[in-house]
Structure 1
Amino acid sequence: MMVNSDAPNGTHPVPSPEDLKLLELSQKYTAEAIKRLRPDGLDQFVPLKKAESERFRALAEDPWVDHAALNAKESPVAEGTTYKFLILGAGYGGLLYAVRLIEAGLVTGPNDLRFVDAAGGFGGTWWWNRYPGLHCDVESYTYMPLLEETGYVPTHKYASGTELREHADRIATQWNLHDKALFRADVKAVRWDDESQLWKVEVTEGRGPSAPSRELKLQAQYVLLASGVLTNPQVPKIPGLDSFSGPIFHTARWDYTITGGTPEDPTLTGLEGKRVGIIGTGATAIQVVPKLAKYAKELYVFQRTPSAVSWRGQRPTDPVEWKTKIAYKKGWQRERCLNYDSYLTDAAEEGQKNLVADGWTEMPAYSGVLGSPRYPIVEPTPEKIAEHVGRLYKLDMARSERVRARTEEIVKDPETANKLKAWYPCWCKRPTFSDEYLQSFNQPNVHLVDTDGKGVDAANQSGLAVAGKEYPLDILILSTGYVTPAIGGGSPAARTGIEVYGRGGRSLDDKWRNHGAATLHGICTSGFPNLFFMPLSQSGQSANNVLTLEVGTEHTVHFLAQAEARAGPGAIVEVTSPAEEAWSFEIAKQAAWHATVVGCTPGYISNEGEFLREQQQQVQDPAAQFKKARQGNWTRGIASFMKVLQEYRDEGSLQGVEVTARAA
């Protein structure tokens, strides 16, 4: 922090007014975070599929799938068939894998490529999520993949969930992928067979309530894990929740038979005359609450931690602007993505034009989680870490104050406005943007139930209880998010819910649990040949997740193309242990940057406060600290990470990767 340099010699420096303000703010942030720590940590939630109650397990089922239509078609996979590329996931990540493989000429035969996905169609999170008000929070011109290749023009600056799902189908149509996907299929286990040098894949295909499921054993030369980070919806362990007598559902499985309306026409007439409760005030609830408020007789919003809600600025796409200022040259989308990212990593050049110019690009302090090329690696000393964290707090302070002031300006009731203010830096929770959410609390039928960081105490047959007061409800909606991708130390298997076993039957989860994250460039790991996964740990990250997916798929396909050029179509590609250790050490050297996250309020990014709890417990075991450091990310921003990958590809030798030909 800055100090007054005019202090007389021999005396302590006098803190500047800004220093004192920052100190007060950091103390407030810390107090708010500690208030929300729970002794059960990650155990306060359970994935819907693993809930003890059959009622909650049923909430995980696909409400959108057309079983009759899928059952009437010939199955795209056959028992015992060997596929060249088996892509586990059919969202944007899986589609990008497929498109890049096709473009590289690696898909030539009818059985070269297959998708397997639990959903009933393409789209990933955009298949499952169809709640009213759903839009992407990142500008559609940068978020929607392959816009140049498809020639599609998004209808608005922020695309609706329906439009995003339709775009997934558009990609599948353009690249002839519709007959290459096995939907409604859960992958139970993926096992490397040392003798055949193929992956053995165990799949259960569901066929709806009127037909028995089908057990399948498939084989694949390459397995590509394409599950996203918003994969497993979770339900809070609230005592008595299962006893609630009214309808209850999760926002990731919206039930329009209860609310009325459709994803395309959210006229929620089923809520008229009803007392509706929604638990959660994160990025989903920000979009849902205004729609509920329009129709419910009474709406109760149960809040543990308020969201920082900035302006959105939604508008239709201007056709002239699209042709002359957005899609006006080849390569425009990647250029726009990197321009956007430069503002979030505090790397925008002086005089540079802000192409996206939205609320995200007002947050250079978001580099607290993404990293920045502007600063060197943070030395892991108390002094340097404090300097680093202090700089980011200072960088964030004015914006956070504007967001809190905006809350005061919009929400008329001072007490409600005060409870809706977010007391944490911008990098601690997914930032939110809305021109409707805060305004909803000015409606007489909308009631904020602030739990002072504790969450809902209990439920009963008629409603919920908070701080000794009961709130009778007719309908309850769970906007309680997803299992954190940091589960299992960030293991690609744990976050996808698939058991993965490599050479000698070694579990990928066990490798991560016992050894820590170990990859080359965040996409592959030693002992698991021909297995690739979407980058999370040990990679560069962007707030625009599709850019992260693009970078991962491009690099993976480079490995595969180069391997087949060397060893033919039966190539076996595997990272060496020295190479993944060298990369893991490079990541661990950068770990002190993420000290910014340690003090964050409990939530998705902070692993529900586990990082802060570990700090409080003063865990000093060097081995444990190094294992945790390996789970971090590249902290120079994704543009810097992309440069590293490009230099690796340009060098051309596939350093650190062994390529052999599969035995005949």
Structure 2
Amino acid sequence: MKKLKFVLNSDISGGLGLSIKLKQLNMNDYIVLERRESVGGVWHDNKYPGCACDVPSNLYSFSFEPYSKWNHTFARQHEIRKYLEYLTDKHNLRPKIQFNAKVTEAQWLDDQNQWKVTIDNGRHFYSRFLVSAHGSLSDAHIPRDINGIDQFKGNMFHSAEWDMTYDLKGKRVAVIGTASSALQLVPVIQKEVKQLYVFQRTPQWIIPVADRKIIDFEKKLYERLPLIQQVIRAIIFWMRETTVLSFAYQWPNKMLSEHLVKYFLSKQVKDPELRKKLTPKWELGCKRVLFSSDWYSALQESNLKLVTDSIKQINEHSILTTNGDNYDLDTIIWSTGFKVRECPIHIRGLGDISINEQWKHSKQAYKCITVLNFPNLFFLVGPNTGVVHNSVIWMIESQITYILETIEYMKQNHFNKFLVKQQAFQQYNDYLQVQLKKSVWQLSSKSQSRDTISPNTRTWPGFAWSYRFMTRRFDHENYDLFYNKDQIGTLKHKKCI
């Protein structure tokens, strides 16, 4: 088979973004491996009722590909899929995408300075560079350690694997977990089910969402005067950047923010017992703040019961809690997030080391993109990419720039292999943890942003613009660069921050 320059394992919109940029630079020697039958990534999988983005539409698009046809200020799932389909067709990317191609393994062949990538039908691809754009929301998590989970005889599925053929009307339904998907789907299905039980382990801080329909006049204005949409996008971006002052730097305005969120809860929920169950015991920001304007009202409907007791056992047609209550059910819906600690594909680098073995105790990358012991490997939305206050698309664009700068530098200087230096790698990750320890994201040991067996490897600790500045160029001094089998030059170790 012809050797490629790039193989992109794509589960997220970032794969499309990088593909667009590669085509624009006439780097056409690449292929995108997509495990699904169409584009969309997580927006292809997540089809549950009420599914929407919690980032404003004008920010949830590439700056180099603005979209004037959003229908809501916070886009629905089908709108985002339409945007991604639009990008694919506009740039004629389909010939570059192999659909239904799930990557099962990637092996670095050091004697050949290339990656061998295997998909589920046994076919192999060989490339100089590998870009893993699987993201962190690609593999649904169902807690299999719950007693009796396999004996339930009703219908059971994860919100990210919604059963489109199943009718919930008139059913007794349990939603387990209060992740963002629960906040979106519960107010919708509550109106059609017979009885709904929401099992909550921990309450969430919730902010009302300022969502509305975008009128046709605005769409036409954006289309004819794109500068207006760019200005609005910039305003939204910088307004969201200011929230870092509260969470990362503990400015006094955090107290005001927490007061306003509690005020919203008190106005929405009059029952003191229910309000107590819905009030978090940690500071605002320790877990990701969620957005909903109808969650609290749905929880107070007559056919919905909030259950805060732990699940003791799942039976054939019910759930038994630790206090002895038994809830008869037809359906269980899991809203329990995703597997984020492991890489979903088997990647092996120098010395046949597995990336999951290396990440067993600490899932780390350099600038969220490159990894020690894994030459010519890039990640999109790698460790610590999570920007809880702004748009991940901004972070992805920054990473695309860094990848392209790396490739251009290597091309201009005739290198064919890079490997991040140990010292630079360690300095960078030590810096991240120092910054995170100053923030509210590290204050709670049970925070969603805190990995229970390692340092915080999910959250970016500061402003999104600072990440853009950090990734604006390829810092070759922090890499060992090779031509064929011989190292070329000795580059000084420098601080990477």
Query: What range describes the TM-score normalised by the shorter chain of this pair?
Result: 0.7 to 0.9
Q: Which residue of 1 aligns with 2:488?
A: none
Q: Which residue of 2 aligns with 1:52?
A: none
Give the letter for the 1:464 counterpart: I
Instruction: Look up the SS of the partner of 2:175 in the other structure.
Output: strand
Q: Which residue of 2 aligns with 1:41?
A: none
Say yes or no: does 1:655 pair with 2:481: no
Instruction: Look up the SS of the partner of 2:92 in the other structure.
Output: coil
Residue from 280, 291, 304 that aligns with 2:188: 291
Q: Which residue of 2 aligns with 1:105?
A: 26
Q: Which residue of 2 aligns with 1:405?
A: 263
Say yes or no: does 1:645 pair with 2:486: no
Give the letter for the 2:344 counterpart: G
Deviation at 1:440, TM superposition (A): 1.1
Give the letter for the 2:82 counterpart: E
Q: Which residue of 2 aligns with 1:305?
A: 202
Q: Which residue of 1 aligns with 2:403?
A: 556
Within a 5 Å distance, the mapping from 1:103-252 to structure 2 comes to 103-107=24-28, 112-146=29-63, 149=65, 151-204=67-120, 214-236=121-143, 237-252=145-160
User: Measured at CA, do residues 598 and 422 of structure 1 come closer, stay the same or move farther in structure 2, by a change above 3 Å?
Assistant: closer
Say yes or no: does 1:500 pair with 2:347: yes
Q: Which residue of 2 aligns with 1:328?
A: 227
Distance 2:171 2:455 in 1: 48
Say yes or no: does 1:434 pair with 2:288: no
TM-score if structure 1 supplies the norm length? 0.67
Within a 5 Å distance, the mapping from 1:255-294 to structure 2 comes to 255-259=163-167, 271-294=168-191
Are the equivalent residues in 1 in contact too, given 2:11–2:42 (CA < 8 A)? no
Distance 1:321 1:152 in 2: 8
User: Measured at CA, do residues 407 and 150 of structure 1 come closer, stay the same or move farther in structure 2, by a change above 3 Å?
Assistant: closer
Q: Which residue of 2 aligns with 1:13?
A: none
Say yes or no: does 1:86 pair with 2:86: no
Distance 2:459 2:300 in 1: 41
Per-residue CA deviation, residues 322-372 of structure 1 (Å, 9 max, x unaligned), is 6379942595477346414422212xxxxxxxxxxxxxxxxxx3x33xxx5
Residue from 458, 461, 471 that aligns with 1:635: 461
Distance 1:640 1:238 in 2: 42
Are the equivalent residues in 2 in contact too, given 1:542–1:638 (CA < 8 A)? no
User: Measured at CA, do residues 155 and 654 of structure 1 come closer, stay the same or move farther in structure 2, by a change above 3 Å?
Assistant: same
What root-mean-square deviation, in Å, do the aligned CA atoms of Structure 1 and Structure 2 show?
2.8
Distance 1:329 1:661 in 2: 48
Deviation at 1:217, TM superposition (A): 1.8
User: Measured at CA, do residues 95 and 164 of structure 1 come closer, stay the same or move farther in structure 2, by a change above 3 Å?
Assistant: same
Say yes or no: does 1:396 pair with 2:254: yes
Give the letter for the 2:420 counterpart: V
Q: Which residue of 1 aligns with 2:416?
A: 571
Are the equivalent residues in 1 in contact too, given 2:222–2:229 (CA < 8 A)? no
Instruction: Look up the SS of the partner of 2:238 in the other structure.
Output: helix
Deviation at 1:470, TM superposition (A): 0.3
Q: Which residue of 1 aligns with 2:318?
A: 463
Instruction: Look up the SS of the partner of 1:84 in the other structure.
Output: strand
Are the equivalent residues in 2 in contact too, given 1:135–1:160 (CA < 8 A)? yes
Give the letter for the 1:527 counterpart: N
More helix by share: 1
Gaps of 5+ in 2: 486-497
Residue from 360, 367, 373 that aligns with 1:527: 373
Give the letter for the 2:31 counterpart: R
Give the letter for the 2:260 counterpart: R
User: Measured at CA, do residues 556 and 290 of structure 1 come closer, stay the same or move farther in structure 2, by a change above 3 Å?
Assistant: same
Are the equivalent residues in 1 in contact too, given 2:34–2:100 (CA < 8 A)? yes
Deviation at 1:186, TM superposition (A): 2.6
Are the equivalent residues in 1 in contact too, given 2:436–2:442 (CA < 8 A)? no
Per-residue CA deviation, residues 265-322 of structure 1 (Å, 9 max, x unaligned), is xxxxxx3322111111221100111111110111111111122222112111245556
Distance 1:606 1:550 in 2: 25
User: Measured at CA, do residues 603 and 579 of structure 1 come closer, stay the same or move farther in structure 2, by a change above 3 Å?
Assistant: closer
Seq. identity, %: 25
Distance 1:285 1:88 in 2: 29
Distance 1:442 1:303 in 2: 15
Deviation at 1:632, TM superposition (A): 7.6
Instruction: Look up the SS of the partner of 1:85 in the other structure.
Output: strand
Distance 1:417 1:540 in 2: 30
Are the equivalent residues in 2 in contact too, given 1:404–1:422 (CA < 8 A)? no
Are the equivalent residues in 2 in contact too, given 1:222–1:531 (CA < 8 A)? yes
Count residues with an aligned counterpart: 480
Distance 2:438 2:458 in 1: 9
Distance 1:166 1:642 in 2: 27
Are the equivalent residues in 2 in contact too, given 1:188–1:498 (CA < 8 A)? yes
Distance 1:657 1:196 in 2: 20
